[in-house]
Structure 1
Amino acid sequence: MGEWIVDFQGRNHSTAINLNFLWRQDNIFIMDNHRAALWCWMEFIQNAEKLNLFHVDRHFDALFSMQDYSHFPHETFTNFGINEYLQCGYDNDFFAVTPLFRWDNYLGLFIKMYGERIENWAFATHGKGTAPQSIPFAAYDPWEFPAALGDLKGSWIFNLDLDYFFGRMADGKMDRLFTDTYIEGWGCELRNALGNGVIKVLTISLSPECAAGWSGAEGALAALNRGLGLEFSLPE
């Protein structure tokens, strides 16, 4: 059975700093905003000598600034609960408190803090946002999936944003680029990799603003969950 780590707050605006829910079942975490992903990985980082990381997302999420890094709670971070993590921030000239962990920088901070623990990096993106500058990584294209997931070896953190399955159409609206069958195939391969211990932790984000709204993101999640064999949906 799964548990709500952050209770569902409703289908509200998500964007860079709001987290409307965080749900967990075993080593699978589902959230609306990937800013919590770094927190979800810490248990597994601390309990493993070496890991690999696969990031699948429309965006790289690897923005890095020394201002953010200078406020990283180095000595106490490994003991943070989810509320402490989400509330972590600092004052600046524009906001009373700037959240430290945001949807565009959590991976950049992770690379700086824990990059030496990662042997191999893999990215599948639409080329949006800031790419990591300090690490070599393998790049994947959509037609390599879901078969490529079955080729993974070793121990992996797998970070999936459902906005990867969406794109901006000619009329400017976001719409699904891939069929239910394709996304369900991802779920099947991820389920196999979880079952054989290749994927140690799976973090999934809906990112509704980048995935045709809540209805679009939840539709993609339903297809993924059929493949995963996971019984999860948001309350009405």
Structure 2
Amino acid sequence: MYIYQRSTPRINYDAYEEIFLWKDDNLPIYVMDNHRLALWCWEQEYAKGTYSKIRVIHIDRHWDGNACLNIPPNIKPVGNMSIDEYQDQQNSLGNFKLFLWDNYIDYFKQKHLNLEIKDFSSDNKSVRKWKTIIKYLDNLVVNPDEFLIINLDIDAFFTPNKNPLNKWLDKMSLVLWRVKKCLRQYQSKIVVTIAFSPTCCYGEKILNGLVREMKLIERDLDIDMNLWKCLAPFYK
């Protein structure tokens, strides 16, 4: 189901603008175009249980962090915000949105001191190889009092050419198969967030790659998003 779906075409490119947020009806899987919405999804699922530890597995083409936060005082907990409140929340200076694609993880870290992050972003060269990610997921053990977040950023705009995209999709499929296994095993204490970042995508080759990535995720996770129907009006 769509939690949020933009109703008007995008006029200008905005890295902090959303087109959609989708959630599976049966599984804790959220798919979005702007990764800044992931924090809201995490808090919705985290609030359903009581945990002493949170583990975030972050798989990305770059690290989504280290931006300025400027948190306003007495802010409502994200878990109590509607999606509209979250999207519109201003920073303490009142001159920009608070939750951005490059600070949502930092905000989560500040609010949850019982947090462990396993960073598999390409910026982290020590763990960037696919075999390291796959080995980690294969050996993953989640404790009974632990909440698991698997955070994937597809970043289609990084793979505009055919051959790199094919290689990327092949490796991502291996990861998604393991994510599906985690969903089956830890369904009551896991959330999976996936971002495509299509607002950064321009050109026919990149958009074709975006469609292929959507189909890959639908196939490997056994979900039916029908996202291209939602996104097509924004790329005419």
Report the TM-score, using the length of structure 2 for normalisation: 0.77
CA change 1:142–1:16 in 2 (3 A) is same
Aligned to 1:58: 61
2:3 is paired with a residue whose SS is strand
- Offset at 1:23? 0.3
For 2:217, the equivalent position in structure 1 comes to 224
The answer to whether the Cα contact below 8 Å between 1:33 and 1:205 also exists between their aligned partners in 2 is: yes
**The one of 109, 121, 125 aligned to 1:125:** 121
The reply on whether 1:101 has 2:99 as its aligned counterpart is yes
> Matched residue of 2:85: which SS?
helix
User: Across the two proteins, how many residue pairs are aligned to each other?
Assistant: 215
Amino acid at match of 2:120: A
CA drift of 1:181 comes to 3.5
The answer to which structure has the higher helix fraction is 2
Alignment CA distance shift 1:57-1:40 (3 Å): same
**133, 154, 177: which one aligns with 1:162:** 154
Instruction: Return the offset for 1:9.
Output: 4.3
Please, what is the CA RMSD of the aligned residues?
3.1
Instruction: Note the residue ranges of structure 1 that are not aligned, 5 or more in a row.
Output: 129-137
Does residue 149 of structure 2 align to residue 153 of structure 1? no
Answering whether residue 211 of structure 2 is matched by residue 215 of structure 1, we say no
% same residue: 25
The unaligned stretches of length 5 or more in structure 2 are none
Q: Give every structure 1 segment of 4 or more consecutive aligned residues whose post-TM-superposition deviation is greater than 4 Å.
A: 8-15
Structure 2 counterpart of 1:196, from 179, 185, 190? 185
Q: Which residue of 2 aligns with 1:135?
A: none
Letter in 1 for 2:219: R
Q: Alignment partner for residue 48 of structure 1, among 24, 47, 50?
A: 50
User: In the alignment, which residue of structure 2 is the partner of 1:19?
Assistant: 18
Deviation at 1:159, TM superposition (A): 0.6
TM-score, length-scaled by structure 1: 0.77
Q: Could you tell me how far 1:112 is from its partner in structure 2?
A: 1.4
Q: Distance in 2 between matches of 1:7 and 1:167?
A: 25
Q: Distance in 2 between matches of 1:22 and 1:162?
A: 15
SS in structure 1 at match of 2:167: coil
Structure 2 CA distance, aligned partners of 1:10 and 1:233? 18
Counterpart Cα distance in 1 of 2:4 and 2:159: 29
Shift of 1:84: 0.2
